[in-house]
Amino acid sequence: MYLYPEQKLQNGRYTVDRELGRGRFAITYLATHSNGDRWVIKILDPALLQSLGPTERDRLKTMFLNEGIALARCSGKSPYIVRINPPFEENGIACLPLEYMGNTTLADRPERILPEKVALEYIRQVGEALAIVHGKKLVHRDIRPGNIFLVPRQDHTEAVLTDFGLVMDFDAELTQTRTQAQIKGFSPIELFVSTGQRVGPYTDVYSLAATLYEMLTGKVPVDAFTRKVKQGDLVTPQVHNPEISGKVAKAIMAGMALEPEQRPQTLAAWLKLLGGGEAGFNRDPNSHPKPSVNWEKWGVIWAAVAVIVTLMLWMGDKLMPEPDRSQPNPTEQQQP
């Protein structure tokens, strides 16, 4: 079952406007919230689900739910991560409400070769988003221009990271070749092989470096599989754009090292290679303002701790043997 224009969802909270697009697995619809805000409602393609066997259907539904869980864990922590509202079910259809980001991504930008200062600012913003993702022990695995929206905010444009459908835990091993996850030019080699390969922050480092390569040159870099199997060389971005600074070019090449262990292992380490300057890389992307203390929450916690301690003391008294009343109590002898 599909959604249709003017359909009311979640007891009228959302009204479907129109279909936005279709991907390999999902269909997205533009919808209006009851408060007037515009949202995207994402569902799994019903035709695709019907074409799958029970096992594959369940696996795809699980991936869809995992996307919602991953987004929920990261949403609201940074202005550079797409927001999500609680998922819901409508007539048997699982619906994932996402903040509407417009229709312009880095892949659709009119200016194919961006000035270095602008490109680095977008990278800093995506880096802040990824710091949240990695802080949750997650890896995005699908960083590329098409998954980074350019959103007008006040008098400037900001980069917002979306599409967490391929997120997985740090320690998850790839057990099969995931061809659908291989976006040529932006996926590192560990996403092309089938056994024994782990992903980590260095996986997203490769994809973010490749995205910066594309922003500064207008060229998609040679894909990792070609480099590995056919011994294809990665041309330094300065060949395509001599105006790229040496420091940035060196950082891109380091981030796109073919083997995972040869790359900077953390996002902060790679951003440090890009240097400071006007783009704002001198601040640690993992450092965020600490929230004020929620004293009400801590009051509840400490009250619970007090109850537990009281119960433990009471149980200890019950389990301890009765003292020998025939002998004087030393403690009582010390009382004045």
Q: Rounded to an integer, what distance in angstroms lies between the CA atom of residue 16 and that of residue 157?
A: 27
Tell me what pLDDT residue 182 has: 53
The full set of domain ranges for the chain reads 8-99, 106-279
pLDDT in tens, 4-50: 999 999 999 999 999 999 877 889 999 999 999 999 999 999 998 99
Minimal CA–CA distance to 9: which of 45, 47, 39?
Answer: 39
Tell me what pLDDT residue 193 has: 65
pLDDT in tens, 152-178: 998 899 999 998 765 555 544 444 444
Tell me what pLDDT residue 290 has: 36
Q: Rounded to an integer, what distance in angstroms lies between the CA atom of residue 305 and that of residue 179?
A: 50
Q: Which tokens belong to 4?
A: 């249709």
Residue 266 predicted with pLDDT over 60: yes
pLDDT in tens, 228-249: 888 778 999 999 999 999 999 9
How many residues are listed for the chain in this entry?
336
Q: What is the mean pLDDT of residues 191-217?
A: 88
DSSP state of 126: H
Residue 315 predicted with pLDDT over 60: no
- Between residues 328 and 265, which one has the greater pLDDT? 265
**Amino acid identity, position 211:** T
CA distances from 290 to 130, 134, 235 (A): 18, 17, 42
Name beta bridge partners: 30: 18, 40
Q: What count of Cα atoms within 13 Å lies in the side-chain half-sphere of residue 251?
A: 24
Q: Rounded to an integer, what distance in angstroms lies between the CA atom of residue 67 and that of residue 164?
A: 6
Tell me what pLDDT residue 87 has: 86
From the options 3.40.50.11540, 3.40.50.620, 3.20.10.10, 3.30.200.20, give the CATH code of 8-99. Answer: 3.30.200.20
pTM of this structure: 0.76
So what CATH class is 106-279? mainly alpha
3-state secondary structure 289-300: CCCCCCHHHHHH
Residue 303 predicted with pLDDT over 50: no
